[in-house]
Amino acid sequence: MTQLTASNAVSALHTLAEEGGRHASLNPYAIGGGALGALLLLLWITTRLNRDR
């Protein structure tokens, strides 16, 4: 089992920052649209459950 040291963590973060942190298969518009849809669904559910206010 390897132990994560501060220098290993810094190295991993540096590598991630150089690559931009993006995976080739992740579409930012699809993720944003999905997140917006999920938040709108939660908003709709919340407004349906609070009819007495």
- Summarised one tens digit per residue, pLDDT across range 15-45 is 767 766 566 688 889 999 999 999 999 999 9
SS3 annotation, 4-45? CCHHHHHHHHHHHHHHCCCCCCCCHHHHHHHHHHHHHHHHHH
Tell me the whole-structure pTM to 2 decimals. 0.51
Report the pLDDT value the prediction gives residue 4, as an integer from 0 to 100. 65
